[in-house]
Amino acid sequence: MAALMQKSALTRPAVANRAGRRAVVVRAAADRKLWAPGVVAPDYLKGELAGDYGWDPLGLGADPVALRWYRQSELVHARWAMLGVAGVLVQEVVKPDVYFYEAGLPQNLPEPFTNVNMGGLLAWEFILMHWVEVRRWQDYKNFGSVNEDPIFKGNKVPNPEMGYPGGIFDPLGFSKGNLKELQTKEIKNGRLAMIAYMGFVLQAQATGKGPLAALSAHLSNPFGNNILKNIGTCTVPHSVNVQGLEIPLSCLWPGQQ
The arithmetic mean of pLDDT across residues 27-38, rounded, is 75
218 is in an annotated binding site: yes
74 is in an annotated binding site: yes
178 is in an annotated binding site: no
pLDDT at residue 257, rounded to an integer: 55
- Distance, in Å, from the CA atom of 179 to the CA atom of 64, rounded to the nearest integer, reads 22
pLDDT at residue 256, rounded to an integer: 57
Number of neighbouring beta carbons within 10 Å of residue 92: 20
pLDDT at residue 16, rounded to an integer: 45
Number of neighbouring beta carbons within 10 Å of residue 32: 14
Among 85, 82, 79, which residue's Cα sits nearest to residue 211? 85
* DSSP letter string, 185-209: HHHHHHHHHHHHHHHHHHHHHHHSS
Percent of the chain past pLDDT 70, that is, above it, reads 86
111 is in an annotated binding site: no
- Distance, in Å, from the CA atom of 181 to the CA atom of 192, rounded to the nearest integer, reads 17
203 is in an annotated binding site: yes
55 is in an annotated binding site: yes
- Distance, in Å, from the CA atom of 141 to the CA atom of 132, rounded to the nearest integer, reads 14
Identity at 92, one-letter amino acid code: E
77 is in an annotated binding site: yes
pLDDT in tens, 214-229: 999 999 999 988 888 8
Q: Looking at the predicted structure, is the pLDDT value of residue 43 above 60?
A: yes
The arithmetic mean of pLDDT across residues 226-254, rounded, is 82
Identity at 105, one-letter amino acid code: L
7 is in an annotated binding site: no
pLDDT in tens, 239-248: 888 778 888 8
Judge whether 80 and 193 are in contact, CB under 8 Å: no
Identity at 239, one-letter amino acid code: S
Judge whether 159 and 165 are in contact, CB under 8 Å: yes
pLDDT in tens, 141-190: 999 888 888 888 888 888 888 898 888 888 888 888 888 999 999 999 99
189 is in an annotated binding site: yes
Judge whether 38 and 47 are in contact, CB under 8 Å: no
Instruction: State the alpha helices, DSSP H only, in 55-117.
Output: 64-94
* CA 39 to each of CA 49, 57, 67, 181, 207: distance values in angstroms, whole numbers, following the listed order: 18, 12, 21, 23, 39
Among 207, 235, 233, which residue's Cα sits nearest to residue 221? 207
Q: Which of 124-128, 200-204, 235-239 has the lowest mean pLDDT?
A: 235-239
Question: What rounded mean pLDDT belongs to the chain?
Answer: 84
pLDDT at residue 238, rounded to an integer: 86
User: Which of the four pLDDT bands, split at 50, 70 and 90, describes residue 196?
Assistant: very high
Q: Burial code of 165-190, b = ≥16 C-beta within 10 A, e = fewer?
A: bbeeebeeeebeeebeeebbebbebb
pLDDT in tens, 60-105: 999 999 999 999 999 999 999 999 999 999 999 999 988 988 888 8
130 is in an annotated binding site: no
